[in-house]
Amino acid sequence: MSDAYKKAGVDINAGYEVLKAVKKMSGNAQLGAFGGLFPLSADQTAHEPVLVAGTDGVGTKLLVAIEAHQHATIGIDLVAMCVNDILAQGAKPQFFLDYLGLGHTDTDKVKAIVGGVIEGCRQAGTTLIGGETAEMPDMYGHDHYDLAGFAVGVADRADLLQADNMQAGDILIGLPSNGLHSNGFSLVRDILFKQHQFKLDHVFAELGHDLQTELLRPTKIYVDSVMPLLQAKTVASIAHITGGGLIENVARALPANLSAEFKLGSWPVPPIMSLLAELGDLTSDDVRSTFNLGLGMVLMVHPDQLATVAQLLTAHEQAFYQVGTVNAGSDPVVFAEANHD
């Protein structure tokens, strides 16, 4: 192979070794072709099939993984950010591709990263059909990398979730998050590591474990628990709570004439979020517009479907909370204290 290219900082042989390892890990011998292949099967339930595509990254949570030298779960975050968005449209994720740009090809590190992607695809019931690993020493620092993903799902056009499906009186069902997921990490890092000088091995009594463990919790993938609801047509709309927190993301799932009213205290807020609010002197609006507050997804459900939704979620061992209602109003998202009668 080219000695000149290697002297310039790009080791092609290392890339070939990574590809061999990924093929073996994924069980997909087609990886490495010029394009990823995915067979289309006739779906008799989809009268007018629509492809739903989503792309996303992991953001500056990557910097925590790099600092901690822990790369095994960051790929799960990547898959989750993409497939949960597709799920919120009412579509079933089908296949996934990833992009990894890095300053130096460390084979063990790349295997750990892509291993997380493969695990995320397994959890989402999707197939990793391709991707790209690009070594660019002048673009990234020696130990740094960036990660992005692309997912495609399918739905019948008639079953796509639309804000117009909703009506006043609908129930808000919250599915718990696995901590911070992959959002707000620029603020998280600013509070913990810049405003204060905590280390990743610092243990807060409120958490019961070190910051590294807390911050690198992988984003929860909701495909197994939400797809049965979509197949049963029991959900009017879904908000995937990502960047922008509860306020922005729930508003995206609402029509202009309706308002989502959350009952504070009706679901548990993870300690890390209260801790960040205290350490960063954050306002309630800061927290609600940045973090998920313990809810990774919010489902909007007609009252006559509530019992079925509860039954299906319980059958799939998915915890859930009844966190509010949909009302007529011009403010998209409001928060009220829960009644404790």
The pLDDT, as a whole number, for residue 21 is 65
Name the pairing type of β-strands 92-102 and 237-240.
unpaired
- pLDDT means per 10 residues, the chain with 341 residues, are 59 62 66 76 71 96 97 97 97 96 92 95 94 91 95 94 92 98 97 98 96 98 98 97 95 93 97 97 96 97 98 98 95 82 48
Structural domain 163-337, CATH architecture: Alpha-Beta Complex (3.90)
| CA–CA distances in Å: residue 49 to residues 59, 83, 92, 227 | 32, 18, 11, 16
52 with 230: CB under 8 angstroms? no
- Kindly report, as residue ranges, where domains of CATH 3.30.1330.10 are found in the chain: 3-34+46-159
pLDDT the model gives residue 213? 97
* Token representation of residue 161: 């979730």
- What does the pLDDT read at residue 181? 97
Integer-rounded Cα Rg, in Å, for the chain is 21
Which percentage of the chain shows pLDDT scores above 90?
A: 80
Question: Measured between alpha carbons, how far is residue 301 from residues 222, 234, 258, 260, 312 in Å?
Answer: 17, 7, 14, 12, 13
Range(s) within the chain of domains with CATH label 3.90.650.10: 163-337
Q: Is the C-alpha dihedral spanning 71, 76, 82, 84 positive or negative? A: negative
pLDDT at 67: 97
Fold of 3-34+46-159: 60s Ribosomal Protein L30; Chain: A; (3.30.1330)
The C-alpha atoms of residue 101 and residue 94 are separated, in whole angstroms, by: 24
Q: Are 47 and 189 in contact (CB under 8 A)?
A: no
What pLDDT does 337 receive?
81
Long-range CB contact pairs, 329-333, < 8 A, 24+: 329/257, 329/258, 329/259, 329/261, 330/256, 330/257, 330/259, 331/259, 332/247, 332/250, 332/251, 332/254, 332/259, 332/260, 333/246, 333/247, 333/250, 333/251, 333/254, 333/259, 333/260, 333/262, 333/288
Summarised one tens digit per residue, pLDDT across range 47-69 is 889 999 999 999 999 999 999 99
In three-state secondary structure terms, 199 is: coil
Is pTM beyond 0.95? Reply is no
Measured between alpha carbons, how far is residue 93 from residues 124, 128, 138, 167, 223 in Å? 7, 11, 35, 27, 8
DSSP tag of 192 = I
pLDDT at 39: 80
Residue 185: other Cβ atoms inside 10 A: 21
- Would you state the pLDDT for residue 52? 96
